[in-house]
Chain A
Amino acid sequence: MAYIIDVLTLTAILMIAVHGYMLIKGLGGMLHLGHAVFYGLGAYGAAIAGTRLLPAAGFPAMLLAGISLAALGGAVVAWPALRNRGRYFMIVTFAVQLIFVTLVINLPVTGGPDGILSVPGLAFGSWLSSSTGLNIGSVVISYPQVKLAVMVGFAALSFWFCYTLIQSPYGRLIRAVREDDVAVEAYGRDTMLIKASVLVIGAGLTGLAGALFASHFNYVGPTQFELDATVLFLVMLIVGGQYSLLGASVGAVLIMALLELLRILLDNVLGVPFDMTAHLRQVFFAVALIGVLAIRSTGLIAERLPKYVLPTRRAGEAGETIPSTVPGAHTPVPAQPHPATGSRMDQQSAPVLTCRGLRKSFGGVTAVADASLDLFDGRIVAIIGPNGAGKTSTFNILSGVEQSDSGTASIGGTSIIGRTAAEIARLGLARTFQDVRVWGRLSAIENILAARANQHGATALGWLAHPERSRRDEIENLDAAWRLLERFGLEQHANTPAGQLSYAQRKMLALARIDAFAPRVMLLDEPTSGVDPRRLGTFLEHIRSFAECENRAVCLVEHNMTVVRDLADWVVFMEEGRVIAAGTPADIIGNRDLMRVYLGHRELKVA
């Protein structure tokens, strides 16, 4: 019985650590190979607090110390590791893992190679200690049983915390970052902060597991936090299903069961030669993992997206106004006006976005040589030009995805040169991408929700500190999201992962998503390319409504001259990175010389 209790206690502790790993790797998508370091920091933090710093403060202080030290470790790792969009994250964390054990062996504060002995166990005043257990009237519950109950309680608490986090606007945004961080930045969020915060939370949670381990085992030593511990956590996560909280929990239980089963199987049933048992256990373990990865690399339990139900009030309305799956552009529902948007300006008004002399080179290739542009509220400007003319590169500069080498650009008088994509988005500029870039493993409605600007719960602090306000915002955003989905004819696909939508539906979702952000300036990169001509009209209606109904400054890159003629108030012609002409659609499209340049390039490319 004591054996079973011990195994279950450790399983509950490891489950918490795997929850932390799930937040970092599964939810945040960070390739992390040093998880045992956070576990170790938690254990050492608790052990140092419990034996040296605050022995009188007891168990809660140990837990706090463990969580804090591990979270601090997460923050320290986050900065170097997440630079350059986390390309080196795996390598940094792997190096940290290799350093950690040598470091604690050499530091006096960690007890060197001996580790820290006599770490206090669970103690709650006079009514629970390791020697007496728990006395409730005539019932005596032994200390190991109490400890098991406490650890299971913590595991349940950890599950609840992670579940709430995943379901929150913050959790949704973390998943969006995992799917495509560039697109998240384009919607005004600082992805580095999001990643760092989830890393800190995941590390803190793992630190809690480490602290519980220290108090469970009463000892912390270097050999417990080596690479094999990280591999164990990783195996639990990958086998269970890294994108599923339930999977992470099941993975911890399954792997512990497998390891203990192997112990019994090898020792008592298979009768393998005595001195092979320890090694063969490792062999079975490694081979089983390769097998699981080969058969189901996403793990046993897949990610489960939250399901949203159309509110009954809106369901009735939807039934009346949207009779078919055809996008309901004929019934535009105005989105809430952008705070910065005033009344519709005429052409004599000051431009909302203006840029002059933008230039950008990549190595020896000049992508943009001299781009200048003015965008006005309520007006649609189309940029046309042959392939490689610098149209998308201009969008990339204006949206902060690339930094220009020279030139000026401003929104509402505020310069955007040198600002990040997220900062520019917050100034009121949003964009779509030529290759759509919806967040594939978020449902359609989650794509809308994640793009909404007004979400108090989309940051770790907001979500943790003001849950009520987060909830209120979420209700409002959900209502707005359903309205948008109806408007764009996607309400029937609200709960479908965006990656599973058809191309046209994803294009439509991209329009809905940018409208959800309610920007003052919209840059639409080939919004109708690849769209079935029969549906083209619907797309045009939506784009027109952005300017006409919502008074947004719209700029689109487009190759379809019919679209340009139908939509644009003003056309800018670019070639070889320069604006070489600008005028009304009739002026530009009617100019045979320009069209010859444009078509000549295309024919040359086809030839």
Chain B
Amino acid sequence: MSLVPYLINGTAFGLSIALIALALALIWRTVGMIDFGLAAVYLITAYTALILKTQLEWPFLWCAAGALIVAPLASIGIYTAVYRHFIKRNSALFVLVLVALCLHIAVQHILAATMSAQKFFLIDDIIPGWEIGGTRLNAVQITKMILSLVALAGVAYFCHRTGRGRTILAVADNRTLAQGIGISTDATYRWTYGIAGLIVGAAVVPEIAENGVDPYIATTPVFLGMAAIIVGGLATFTSPVLAAVLLGICFHLAVWGFSSSWQEVVTYAIVIAVLLLRPQGLFGSFSPVRQRA
């Protein structure tokens, strides 16, 4: 059995998870919460693209653009309407996690109730692709990989080279100090959620092009994204991205080495092993800047 196809497919899968990990990391570092609610943003974005395609019959690229506009708006909207209330009251991390999980559940089931649990595919034929290392990568997979790297570079550029980005880093490093020098945390959080939403949008569009839309598609990417943060750490934005690739490879290698039945056990066991042996993450320090009780 050749290992190479598993490595290539695993890397491709990992890089698609990396986008979600990056969005989660941005919020985790800046706001200090584990935002499972990004799964709700994921679903809203996916269904926006679907509705634009079906109701308005827009070409796919237009739908993608529309979805990319809606994603940050949905993310900011959720922050403004829901999270802000809890963050202002300095709610415990536990409460924030629970609220975010409930948001996901609510959006998922609203969509299942109103749009049906049916899966809708946007592309119904084989996607063009190329033979690489004994396997075949399609255009969407390659797009996802490129997008991940572009998003990583974009976030790095934004955070280090723009004024708004630097305020995000300042709030992430020391919120009290940032407030002391006149930075509005509320505005910074809006930007953070907006950018995270945009990154999620960038993950969703190619994903639904390849794998279709249904109310259940967000759970696995968000959970794996979170696992990537734990494994990689939060020292830099590169850490969760590298970890996502590592997890993606493990996800595929588990099938190669053991059996597909053990895929999830192996992946999440790696998470626990990392927490045991190197709790700060494989690629640096884990410590989220603002730890809540």
Contact = CB atoms under 8 A, between A and B. Distances in A.
A106 B259 CA distance: 10
Interface in A38-96: 80-81, 83-84, 87-88, 90-92, 94-96
A287 B99 contact: no
Contact of A91 (B98, B106, B114, B230): B230
A350 interface: no
Given A31-B93, A238-B95, A297-B86, A95 B109 contact: no
B276 A279 contact: no
B89 A297 contact: yes
A290 interface: yes
A279 B112 contact: yes
Interface residues of A, number: 40
Contact of A105 (B223, B261, B279): B261
B56 interface: no
B106 to A, nearest CB: 4
A84 B286 CA distance: 12
A102 B264 contact: yes
B291 interface: yes
A283 B109 contact: yes
B271 to A, nearest CB: 5
A99 B261 CA distance: 12
B4 interface: no
Contact of A102 (B98, B265, B275): B265
B95 A103 contact: no
Contact of A88 (B93, B261, B268, B275): B275
Nearest to A81: B275
Contact of B109 (A282, A289, A294, A297): A282
Chain A interface main SS type = helix
Nearest to A294: B85
Contact of B103 (A33, A234, A290): A290
A106 B261 contact: yes
B265 A106 contact: yes
Contacts of A31: 93-94
Nearest to B287: A87
Nearest to A230: B101
Interface in A253-294: 275-276, 279-280, 282-283, 285-287, 289-290, 293-294
A453 to B, nearest CB: 27
A231 B36 CA distance: 13
A503 B184 CA distance: 31
Q: By DSSP majority rule, is chain B's interface helix, strand, loop, or mixed?
A: helix
Contacts of B276: 80, 83
Contact of A283 (B86, B113, B279): B113
Interface in B53-111: 82, 85-86, 89, 91-95, 97-99, 101-103, 105-106, 108-110
A98 interface: yes
Interface in B248-293: 261-265, 268-269, 271-272, 275-276, 279, 286, 291, 293
A235 B98 CA distance: 9
Nearest to B265: A102
A39 to B, nearest CB: 18
Contacts of B89: 297
Contacts of B293: 29
Interface in B163-188: none
A265 to B, nearest CB: 15
B200 interface: no
B24 interface: no
A286 B262 contact: no
Given A99-B265, A105-B261, A286-B103, A83 B113 contact: no
A90 B34 CA distance: 11
B235 to A, nearest CB: 14
Interface size class of B (residues with CB under 8 A): 35 or more
A297 B261 CA distance: 40
A378 to B, nearest CB: 40
B181 to A, nearest CB: 19
A280 B265 CA distance: 32
A297 B99 CA distance: 10
A29 B89 CA distance: 19
A83 B280 CA distance: 12
Nearest to A238: B98
Contact of B275 (A92, A105, A235, A282): A92
A106 to B, nearest CB: 5
Interface string A148-162: 000000000000000
Contacts of A235: 98
A275 B286 CA distance: 45
Contacts of A286: 102-103, 105-106, 109
A390 to B, nearest CB: 23
Contact of A231 (B101, B112, B268): B101
Contacts of B86: 293-294, 297
B111 to A, nearest CB: 8
B261 to A, nearest CB: 5
B227 interface: yes
A88 B279 contact: yes
Given A95-B271, A286-B105, A293 B95 contact: yes
A98 B268 contact: yes
A362 to B, nearest CB: 14
A92 B110 CA distance: 30
Interface in A7-51: 25, 29, 31, 33
Contacts of B264: 98-99, 102
A280 B107 CA distance: 10
Contacts of B113: 275-276, 279-280, 283
Interface centre among B98, B112, B271, B293 (most CB of A within 10 A): B98
A103 B105 contact: no
B258 to A, nearest CB: 10
A87 B288 CA distance: 10
Nearest to B229: A91
A297 B227 contact: no
A235 B99 CA distance: 10
Contact of A106 (B109, B262, B271, B291): B262
A279 B109 contact: yes
Contacts of B263: 102
Nearest to A113: B261
Contacts of B275: 80-81, 88, 91-92, 95
Contacts of B227: 95
A41 to B, nearest CB: 16
A8 B232 CA distance: 46
Contacts of A90: 93-94, 97
A25 B92 CA distance: 12
A103 B265 CA distance: 6
A166 B103 CA distance: 34
A94 B225 CA distance: 13
Contacts of B230: 88, 91, 95
Given A92-B275, A283-B105, 5 more contacts: A83-B279, A88-B286, A94-B226, A95-B227, A106-B261
10 contacts: A83-B276, A87-B291, A95-B272, A99-B268, A99-B269, A102-B265, A238-B95, A287-B106, A294-B85, A297-B92
4 A-B pairs closest in CB distance: A279-B113, A286-B106, A276-B113, A286-B102
